[in-house]
Structure 1
Amino acid sequence: DGMYYREFPVMFDWVHNGEGLTTFNLHGLMDPTARDFDKRVRRYAGFYMGDDPQSPNYDKQHRIIRSLFNGSRGPMLRKATPLDWAGDPLEDVEERYNALHGERNFEEMLAHFEDYTDVVGDHPSNMVATTLGLNAYALTGEKAFRDWVLEYVEAWRQRTIDNDGIIPTNIGLDGTVGGECDGKWYGGCYGWAFTVTVPQTGGLSSRNTHYLGIAGFGNALLFTGDQRFVDVWRQQIDTINSNTKVVDGQQMYPHMFGDDGWYDFSTSPYSAGALDVYYWSMARQDLQRLDAETGWIGFLEGNAPDYPVAALQRDFGRVRSQMEKVRHDPTTPDTRLSDNPNPLNPATIGSLVELMLGGMTPRHGCPLHCRLRYFDPARQRPGMPDGVGALVEKLEADSTTVTLVNTDQVSSRQVVVQGGAYAEHHFGTVRIGDEAFEVDATSFAVELAPGAGATLRIDTQRYATQPTFAFPWDRRS
């Protein structure tokens, strides 16, 4: 019956649903009044709240999404087949297509998914769906969307605590941990024990996507500011890394868990979500899990002053390189698979999000977590006015430091600075040199004379207000 129904994937996992919704889930930040956007965010969130008879994904009693495969036609409540994953058969795969997993024929495409069968029951990656609830609340302010997100995420938080601090990767239809996998909390497709054989090489590959679940905890934090949603992931990181062993004199850390206990040991500690935990908590002990000497975090800590220039030079280089790939792409519309354009995408936003917004790059359908956002009041749109630059130089638990510069040598510019992508942060006093200005709001305007710039230290109360898509001038009206 096709891949889409009611403008939404019919039935798929949130590794792929999230990828497909990456831009839609940020659309409200750009144009929340776009035609039919209101209808779509309501409909999409409704697929997961348990009230849509055509898509009974959510079980209110057990607070679960009932399958790893879910969507506008509801959950898959049987074993998945390779055909469910691979789609319609293709001929002449090696001769005609560029299969990114290296498959040479359709049989190898099916073999890739041979073990991807245990999809019944809930999985942490389904928490990416809570971004749909965040979207709907940020647009409408209706409490039901917020309540569903918090209800569902809290259920996962409690399960993780009850499972000795490790998020389980299968919740049965009866609400029990491991209920569809013989009681194994680590079972299921994309679970802690999901290590499969690569058909082309015979090698093993571990494909555990539990880490996508951190999206739900971040969304709950946006709504509440409650650090217990951060604590649960921090405790998981520490619990996993406590299961180290020494091999040939080297400390080794596990990353997978199966019938025989922890496995897939490497010299790198388990660190999935470590940056998120620090960014959300701003606790110095959480910084210890990160590299504070180089990169973006090193810059914020004052240890990598050259990072902004180096990062932008690197990103411009990548844009040029990607455009060369686009120009020399040998595929044609009839030989181009759906994911072939992905490695060619020239959009390179990571450093801009870090340096201008003081934020983390959104991924897999997650929202934008950032400290600042900017608006152009003259043109009544989100984004920087022409010729204005920003560099977030320091992030602390209760303050934000940013330098704003108007590069136009003739005309002045006004820019509105907002706390967070969704106005979730509240500003107190803004200091420029020896001067102090009381703001007491989620945004303020800065007038920049021609060629002028200034460094602002902004007292910031994080996660103090409810998220909204409304632009600053609309919130004041």
Structure 2
Amino acid sequence: MMRITAAVPLREVPRWALLERELLAVLDQAWRRFAERFCEPDGRLRYAGRMYGRDGVDDFYEPFFNWPALYRLGGADDLLGAAKHHWEGVTRQLTELGFVRDEYEVGYDWFHQGESLPLFLGICAADPDDAAFRARARRFADFYLPGSSTGNYDASTRTIVAPHTGSGGPRWGVGEDWEEYRADQAGMEIYGLPLRDLPDLREWDDLRAPGAAARMGRAMQERMGRGDTAVNLAATTLATNAWLYAQEARYADWALEYIDAWRERAAANDGVLPDNVAPDGTVGGLHGGAWYGGHYGWTWPHGLHSIASAAIVAALNSVALTGELDRLDFVRGLLDAVLARGAVQDRIASRGSLGPGWADRLEADEETTELLVPYRYGPDGWFDYHPMPLEPVLWLDWISHSAEDSARLERIRAASGSDWNAVRWFHDKEEQGHEAPWIEFLAGRNPGYPEAALELALGQVLRRLGLIDEAPDEPEDGDIHFWQRLNPVVTEILTQLVTGAPPALYYGGLSHARILVADGRRGRPGLPADVAALVRAATSAQVAVELVNLGPDEQTVILTSGAFGEDRIDAATYAVAVPGYPGDPRDYAIPHAPSRSERVAVGSARLVVVMPPRTRISLDLAITRRAYGAHHQSFAGSIKENA
């Protein structure tokens, strides 16, 4: 590995660097406080209540979902062990409750399974040398491969055979909760009818007729509880994660076969990804030929929100597996379909099922305008209009940097009536939502973003700590969302600033990066002690990153290009100090540290940067993306190699 040394001393201490280190310090206290208040000694969550229906596995893993991500960014040395401890404790807890078998979900939909996975995926990425988690990764992926004893996959139709699957195989139906779909079920009226083609069931109040709720429930179980559904695309993450260990072809072969099957279905549907496939392999076979109506599909309940997430997760998986961008087409198709029907409108809060949340996120009043697009489709066409979600659009541009994908993002920006530079103070469970001001920062239009965003992140943590102080030690019976509302770990802003990437897609996405930072002396991922990092720009062929060592000790930083070492650093340009600092002691003025620019060839995925005490270095890295095969990154042995 090429090795360079930072030689420019600190003259001014960047405020963003101080805030970054302060955030890491506060987070180290915060996760310990959460574990102390809400967890048993064996790592499980403190809970004496019952479980209801099939739901709940995700809610027990979600409170810890981003703890490994924090470790990979520079969290405490013992945070990785804590994350493993809680994963194992919660897994035992859920096994005792009958919801987990062979350490994996018995059977549920992939919208929720995707929410269960970030903790596990983060551990795998943070410590690929852990043999136990490597074995789990392979075993979990095997549940979905052709020939598995679970029977989750039918190779003849290239389908996952049911919306609810897992270690127990297909679990028919959509769960006991929906044996009836009643008009008095709290919170469901806003989403409307799951199926909109049943005789005499066209409006919400029609459910109040004698027998109507049971009739809708039976139809849901029979038509939405069998066959494949588009959100199952997120299952390809299990295979991709297993492949990243040793590039076993069978994992890539299955994931790409399954993705290509859905691509073909989208191509046959004017580019729009359908949401259902019958057991015989036909789109619409359970829905009178309609391409919509599947479980967590276009009609019910969230439409674009869940469909686009699963599609972009699968598309990013395909890029990791192949290094090629050709499988992004089916994501572009569905995004362009809704954009073609978009219109700039006001009254965001009252337009549809997710309106109030969008209004809160955008701080929108009745006159605020945004480009609203339809999220759902039914027998009467497109409906349920909301602001275009930035996450899938941004991911396409981030992975490809193509003119087509950049133009799509710019179209949304140009139509927006809100301030894209504003860093709004909110916190959702997905650790998303602050894409716009970060996009503006990378484009050079929002220079104050790092400081404003880090202040927000500190505010997010402090609020959660305040909520923890006021909360009981465990939730009431059935309140299994209690803990995720109190998780004090925040990683969205750190991920953006340190790695140059959005945070992993919440519903089953792998973590990606333009730059991974690792501690060469301790042989682990994440920022070394007292070191801060900031990715200032990232294009298809360049990454600009600044490193600052605020401490009294020399540190060794390993920069890896790409989350999986898939990119090549061709060359590095940086400033080399020349004589002139600190200057003549008889002068009153404190001089700038003079320097000259130097460019060195690298030709590797990794670059070692030695950071003497209280130095900073700005690196302009020339990058070739996807030059190498992707694999999980280990930093064990770095102490010996880079001491």
TM > 0.5 fold call: yes
Determine the C-alpha separation between the residues in 1 that align with 2:408 and 2:174: 39
RMSD: 2.9
Q: By how many angstroms is 1:150 displaced?
A: 1.4
Question: What is the one-letter code of the residue matched to 1:241?
Answer: L
Aligned to 2:622: 459
Determine the C-alpha separation between the residues in 2 that align with 1:7 and 1:172: 30
Q: By how many angstroms is 1:474 displaced?
A: 6.6
- 1:73 matched to 2:73? The reply is no
Aligned to 1:376: 519
Question: What is the one-letter code of the residue matched to 1:417?
Answer: L
Aligned to 1:125: 231
Larger helix percent: 2
CA offsets 1:251-292 (integer angstroms, 9 cap, x no match)? 8632211111112235x3465611111111213324314549
1:76–1:245 Cα change, 3 Å: same
- 1:38 matched to 2:157? The reply is no
1:446–1:116 Cα change, 3 Å: farther
What SS is found at the alignment partner of 1:429? strand
Aligned to 2:400: 281
Deviates more, 1:289-298 or 1:369-378: 289-298
Deviates more, 1:114-123 or 1:455-464: 114-123
CA contact under 8 A between 1:254 and 1:270: conserved in structure 2? no
Determine the C-alpha separation between the residues in 2 that align with 1:207 and 1:432: 44
- 1:212 matched to 2:309? The reply is yes
CA contact under 8 A between 2:178 and 2:220: conserved in structure 1? no
Aligned to 2:114: 18
Aligned to 1:352: 494
Determine the C-alpha separation between the residues in 1 that align with 2:315 and 2:444: 29
- 1:242 matched to 2:340? The reply is yes
What SS is found at the alignment partner of 2:546? strand
Pairing partner for 1:59 from 145, 154, 157? 154
What SS is found at the alignment partner of 1:231? helix
Pairing partner for 1:317 from 459, 478, 482? 459
CA offsets 1:442-464 (integer angstroms, 9 cap, x no match)? 11101112111111111112222
Determine the C-alpha separation between the residues in 1 that align with 2:390 and 2:611: 42
CA offsets 1:338-363 (integer angstroms, 9 cap, x no match)? 22111111111000000010011111
CA contact under 8 A between 1:45 and 1:145: conserved in structure 2? yes
What SS is found at the alignment partner of 2:114? helix
Aligned to 2:604: 441
Determine the C-alpha separation between the residues in 1 that align with 2:188 and 2:555: 49
Q: By how many angstroms is 1:228 displaced?
A: 2.0
What SS is found at the alignment partner of 2:570? strand
Task: Give TM-score scaled by structure 1 length.
Answer: 0.86
Determine the C-alpha separation between the residues in 2 that align with 1:291 and 1:389: 30
- 1:29 matched to 2:125? The reply is yes
Higher relative contact order (CA 8 A, sep 6+): 2
Determine the C-alpha separation between the residues in 2 that align with 1:273 and 1:247: 21
What SS is found at the alignment partner of 1:243? coil
Question: What is the one-letter code of the residue matched to 1:71?
Answer: G
CA contact under 8 A between 1:275 and 1:290: conserved in structure 2? no
Determine the C-alpha separation between the residues in 2 that align with 1:125 and 1:474: 40
1:346–1:289 Cα change, 3 Å: farther
Determine the C-alpha separation between the residues in 2 that align with 1:372 and 1:414: 16
Give aligned pairs, total: 443
Determine the C-alpha separation between the residues in 2 that align with 1:239 and 1:206: 13
Aligned to 1:399: 542
- 1:82 matched to 2:201? The reply is no
Question: What is the one-letter code of the residue matched to 2:471?
Answer: D
What SS is found at the alignment partner of 1:44? helix
- 1:222 matched to 2:320? The reply is yes
Determine the C-alpha separation between the residues in 2 that align with 1:181 and 1:261: 15
Q: By how many angstroms is 1:236 displaced?
A: 2.1
Q: By how many angstroms is 1:68 displaced?
A: 1.1
1:32–1:85 Cα change, 3 Å: farther
Percentage of matched positions with identical amino acids: 31
CA offsets 1:150-175 (integer angstroms, 9 cap, x no match)? 11112222221221111111011222
1:272–1:191 Cα change, 3 Å: farther
Deviates more, 1:138-147 or 1:112-121: 112-121
1:245–1:420 Cα change, 3 Å: closer
Determine the C-alpha separation between the residues in 1 that align with 2:227 and 2:340: 29
Determine the C-alpha separation between the residues in 1 that align with 2:323 and 2:277: 27
1:206–1:146 Cα change, 3 Å: closer
- 1:256 matched to 2:376? The reply is yes
Rg larger for: 2
1:358–1:189 Cα change, 3 Å: same
Determine the C-alpha separation between the residues in 1 that align with 2:633 and 2:280: 40
Q: By how many angstroms is 1:181 displaced?
A: 2.0
Question: What is the one-letter code of the residue matched to 1:399?
Answer: Q
Q: By how many angstroms is 1:75 displaced?
A: 1.2
What SS is found at the alignment partner of 1:469? coil
Q: By how many angstroms is 1:472 displaced?
A: 5.1
Aligned to 2:564: 422
CA contact under 8 A between 1:41 and 1:132: conserved in structure 2? yes
